[in-house]
Structure 1
Amino acid sequence: MFRPLFFTSFMLADQVVDNGFYGAGQLLVSSASSKTAYAAALQLHGTGPRLIGLTSPGNVAFTRSLGCYDEVIAYDDLGQVARTPAVYLDLSGAPATRAGLRDRLGDLLVRDIAVGLTTQVPNAAAAGEVFFAPVQMRKRRQDWGRDGLDQRFAEAWQTFLGTATSAVDVKVGHGPEALRETWLTVLNGEAAPRTGHVVQLDPERDA
C-alpha cells in the first residue's frame, strides 16, 4: 500500500536536501496527514529547517501524533506561520492555502513546489514549479549509480516501515461494491487519515 507512494516521498525529500533546503528556514507541507506527505516528512525531520505540517482542523491531532513535524498548523490558522524564509511543498493543490501563504509570507516564500493533489481543484499552474520524481531519480542515478540509489531507497524504506505499521489501520474490502464505497469515501473527503484502504477482487467473480 505504501511502497508506490514512498518512491515519490523519497525523491521529494532527497531533492529538497540536495538543493540545500533552498536556503529556507522552514519547510511547509500541505496535506500533512497524507501518506505521501508524512513519508517525506519522516526523512526530512531533524535534517535542517523546521518542518511545519499544514492540515485540516479535524486531522491536527493525528498529524501531531506522527511525530515527524516540528509544528502542525490547521489551514484556517495560517497566521501562525512564522514570517521567515520558507519552502512550500504543496501536496493538496488547494488554491486557498497557496493564496493564504503568499499573503502571509510575500517574498519570504522562496520556493513554491506543487507535488500532489489531495483536493479536487487543480492548482499546480499557480505554483512556482512542479515536482517530478523521475527527474531527481535520473540525477541520483548519475550521482550514485543504480546500485547506490537502490541501496539508499531500501534503507529509507526499512526505516519508514516502523512508523507506517503504527500509523495506519488497514481496512480490507472485497469486490466492486467495496471499491465503489471506498472511492466515494475518498472522493467526498471522508477518508480518515489513519485508515488505509485495500480492495480485493471478489474471489468468485475473479474465478
Structure 2
Amino acid sequence: MQSPITVTRLVTRKRALDQSRIEQEQRSPVAADGEVILKVDRCALTTNNISYAAYGDSMHYWEFFPTGLAEWGHIPAWGFADVIASGVENVAVGERFYGYLPLASHVWVRPDRVIRRGFHDGTEHRQALSSVYNQYTRCSEDTYHRPATENLQVLLKPLFLTSLMLADFLKDNQFFGASRVVFSSASSKTAYGTAVCLAGHPKLECVALTSTGNKTFVERLGCYGRTVSYAELSELANDRPTLYVDFSGDLGLRERVHQHFAGHLVYSCFVGSAHTTDEAELSAVEGLRPVFFFAPIQIRKRSVEWGAERVNRYVGEGLQRFYRQVSAPVNPLLQVVESHGLEAAQSVISRLFHGHIPPVEGHVIRL
C-alpha cells in the first residue's frame, strides 16, 4: 500500500490579502478513474494574482480552487505541474503541463476533451467558469515551450496574453477614433506589454502615466512616446482624441484623467488594478463610463474568426518577441527572482499587496 500524499496549500483571507496561512492534509496517492493528480512545480506571482483575488467574487476567481472556507480562498496562479498519478488513458505519469493552478503542492483535475495539445479540466464546479482558465497545455506538444524560459513563460504569458488581446481589441475597433492612448500604471508588465504590441502603429501616440519613483524605469522601457508622472498630468495638452487605458484602478486618478481630457476622451477602458484591491468600480464622475476589458472575450472572438491554430501561433510568436525584448542583455527589463516554498509565497503576496515590489522584478515560487 502506497503512503498518503501530504498536500500543502496556502490560503489567503479574501478581505485582507496580506493575511494567509499554510495548511496540510493527507490524501490518497492513487488517482481515481478519470482523475489526474498534478504536483505543482513552479508558479508566478505578480500584481495579476492580486487582481484575481481583488475580483475573486465578481469575476469568480475564488471558485476555481474552492477551499471550503467562507473567508479564506486559494489565489490562483499560472505555472507548471507534473503528473504523478493518472486514471486517464491519454495522460501519462511524468508528463508536464502548463496551466492555472492553486498555490498548493498538488491539485486534482479531471481531464476532458483530451487532445494532443492538452486537455480541459472537466471538474464539475469549473464548468460554469471561463474556459480559458480550464485549459492545460502539454509541454511536449507546445511549439513555443522551452525549459530554459519557463520562468519567463509563467511570469509573462498570462500578462502578455491580456496585453496582446487588448492591443488587438483596440486595433479591431480603430482605437475608437483616438490618436493618443494614455496608460496608467505604465510600469506594470501588462501595460508596457500592450504598448509594445502597439509600437510602430502610425499616427498613434502612447503616453505613460506613472509614479515619480517609477518614471526613470518607464522611460527606459522605450515603448512609450512620452512619460509623465501623475503630478504632471496637467502638462499633457488636451488637443486630440484620447483613449484612456486604466491599469491602476485608482478612482481619484480616473476622475482627474476624465476631467483633464473632457471633450476629447473617446473611450475609457479598465483592465486591472495595480493600486487597489477594491472590487472593480466601473464609474466616473465626469465623461464616459469606463468599460471593463476581459481578455477571454477577445480570445474567443479571434478563435471563431481565425481558428485555434492561428490564435496559438499569434500568441506564441508575440511571446517569443516579448521574451527577447525584456531579457535583452544590453537593457534587461525584467529581473527574475526565484524563491522556494509557500512561506516565500506568503511574503511575496504581502509585498505585492502593499506595492513593495519594484517593477523590474518578476517573482517565481518553486514548490
Choose from 312, 321, 328 the match for 1:150: 312
| Counterpart residue number, 2:269 | 113
Residue 17 of structure 1 is aligned with which of 171, 178, 202? 171
Partner of 1:97: 253
Quote the residue 2:302 is aligned against: 140
Q: Secondary structure at the match of 1:119?
A: coil
Which residue is 1:171 aligned to?
337
Larger of the two Rg values belongs to structure = 2
Letter in 1 for 2:207: I
Q: Could you tell me how far 1:85 is from its partner in structure 2?
A: 1.1
Q: Report matched runs for 1:54-69 at 5 Å.
A: 54-69=209-224
In the other structure, the counterpart of 1:128 is: 290
RMSD of equivalent CA atoms: 1.3
Alignment pair present for 1:187 and 2:353: yes
| Identical pairs, percent | 36
Q: State the distance in 1 between where 2:216 and 2:261 align.
A: 25
Query: What is the number of equivalent residue pairs in this alignment?
Result: 201
- CA distance in 2 between counterparts of 1:169 and 1:65 reads 14
How much does 1:164 deviate? 2.1
CA 122–109 in structure 1, closer or farther in 2 if over 3 Å, else same: farther
Q: Which amino acid aligns with 1:109?
A: L
Q: CA deviation at 1:195?
A: 0.7
Higher relative helix content? 1
Measure the CA separation in 2 of the matches of 1:174 and 1:156: 30
Unmatched tracts of structure 2, length 5 or more: 1-154, 284-288
Which residue number corresponds to residue 157 of structure 2? 3
Report the CA distance between 1:176 and its aligned residue: 2.8
Post-superposition Cα deviations, 1:54-85, rounded to whole Å, max 9, x if no partner, equal: 11110010011010000111111110222121
TM-score by length of 2: 0.53
Cα distance per residue 1:3-45 (max 9 Å; x no partner)? 1111111100100111111110100111110111111110112
User: Partners in 1 of 2:338 and 2:316 — Cα distance?
Assistant: 26
Deviation at 1:123, TM superposition (A): 4.9
Residue equivalent to 2:183: 29
The structure with the greater share of residues assigned to strand is: 2
Contact 1:172 1:198 in 2 (8 A): yes
Report which stretch shifted further, 152-161 or 171-180. 171-180
Which amino acid is 2:259 matched to? D
Query: What is the CA–CA distance in structure 1 between the aligned matches of 2:172 and 2:231, rounded to whole Å?
Result: 32
Unmatched segments (≥5 aa) in structure 1: 202-207
